[in-house]
A and B are shown apart, each in its own frame.
Chain A
Amino acid sequence: MSLLIDIALAALLILSGLFGLIGSWGLLRLRDPMQRLHAPTKATTVGVGAAMLAAALALPWANGSFSLGEVLVAAFLYLTAPLTALYLARTHMHRTVDRRSLPQPGTGARWASQDDTLDDA
């Protein structure tokens, strides 16, 4: 039983490390900055998730105590990852993307970050 748990924990940690590595590798390998943004925002969420799962499983097994902190770490990561990606994408668009190369909303309005009539733009 102990061996099985150890194997499961090891597998989770290896998975976590692999996805962290793939995320970083994608950052190096993809060519366009918008493509690069996809690798770390997604490939690392499973990486951190697997590490947190391993930690959450290991603690009760090792000393009988129980902690939900790991669940919170994963939850806040999933809540904040889209926002980080959004701000990185917007900064990039603001600085280097030609606004004429983007598709238009088609409703008559402009994209919020390009609409100078919004006071918080």
Chain B
Amino acid sequence: MLRRLFPHPLLSLLLVIFWLMLVGRPALGSLVMALILATAIPLLTARYWPDQSRLYRPWLLPPYLGLVLVDVIKANFQVARIVLFWPPERIRSAWVAVPVTLTSPEAVSILAGTITMTPGTLTADISADGKVLLVHALHAPDPDALRDEVATRYEARLKRIFEP
């Protein structure tokens, strides 16, 4: 019964938090509105998100986001350096196929988003069976190093969050 009313409890929780942040001041009326939205939106969108993905270790998500934030800032400086100072012919861009062993679609989406936001790499496509990501690298003289970095730095952490 409760599960049918809240098909995605985490989404409902985030909606409440986002709405209260958006309103900006605590008030009973805002909380009621937040609860209405947190009930209605997951119900209305449940058909497009039928499967429930379980977070096995949700407490590892904030450290992961922190790591990604630091990497995003580093990525900005790296890309800025390449854009400003490198002669165009020195930039070795490459397409790299990065294998993925994560199974939950949510985890793969987060990995793809992380790749796009971090050092000089951008997710462009996924294989039809969902097992390989097509990544474009701004400067990747060594594609194998890139595959290793994705696997050890991001995928391993996501695996601990999303899989038992």
Interface of A toward B, CB cutoff 8 Å: 19, 22, 25-26, 29-32, 34-35, 37-39, 41-43, 45-46, 66-69, 71-72, 78-79, 81-83, 85-86, 89-90, 93, 101-115, 117-118
Chain B residues numbered 114-138 whose CB sits less than 8 Å from any CB in chain A? 116-117, 120, 122-129, 131-132, 134, 136, 138
- B interface residues, how many (CB within 8 angstroms): 37
Mark interface residues in B96-129 (1 if CB within 8 Å of A CB, else 0).
1101000000000000110011001011111111
- In this complex, what residue of A is CB-closest to B117? A82
- In this complex, what residue of A is CB-closest to B20? A68
User: Do A69 and B95 have beta carbons less than 8 Å apart?
Assistant: no
B25 to chain A, nearest CB (A): 9
B79 beta carbon closer than 8 Å to chain A = yes
Chain B residues numbered 74-92 whose CB sits less than 8 Å from any CB in chain A? 75-76, 79-80, 83-84, 88, 91
User: Do A112 and B127 have beta carbons less than 8 Å apart?
Assistant: yes
User: Do B129 and A107 have beta carbons less than 8 Å apart?
Assistant: yes
Instruction: Using A46-B73, A102-B134 as known contacts, say yes or no to A39 and B125 having CB atoms under 8 A apart.
Output: no
- The answer, among B72, B95, B112, for a CB contact under 8 Å with A45, is B72
- In this complex, what residue of B is CB-closest to A28? B83
Pairs A–B under 8 Å by Cβ, sample size 19: A22-B83, A29-B88, A30-B91, A34-B122, A34-B136, A38-B138, A41-B117, A42-B76, A66-B24, A68-B21, A69-B22, A72-B21, A82-B113, A89-B124, A89-B136, A109-B129, A111-B125, A113-B125, A117-B128
User: What is the CA–CA distance of A75 and B28 in the complex, to the nearest angstrom?
Assistant: 25
- In this complex, what residue of B is CB-closest to A67? B24
User: Do B116 and A81 have beta carbons less than 8 Å apart?
Assistant: yes
User: Do B80 and A43 have beta carbons less than 8 Å apart?
Assistant: yes
User: Do B97 and A106 have beta carbons less than 8 Å apart?
Assistant: yes
Q: Across the interface, which residues of B come within 8 angstroms of A68, CB to CB?
A: 21, 24
User: Do B128 and A45 have beta carbons less than 8 Å apart?
Assistant: no
- In this complex, what residue of A is CB-closest to B109? A82
Given A86-B123, A102-B134, A111-B134, list of 12 further CB < 8 A pairs?
Answer: A29-B88, A41-B122, A46-B76, A72-B21, A81-B117, A85-B116, A85-B122, A103-B134, A105-B97, A106-B97, A106-B132, A112-B128
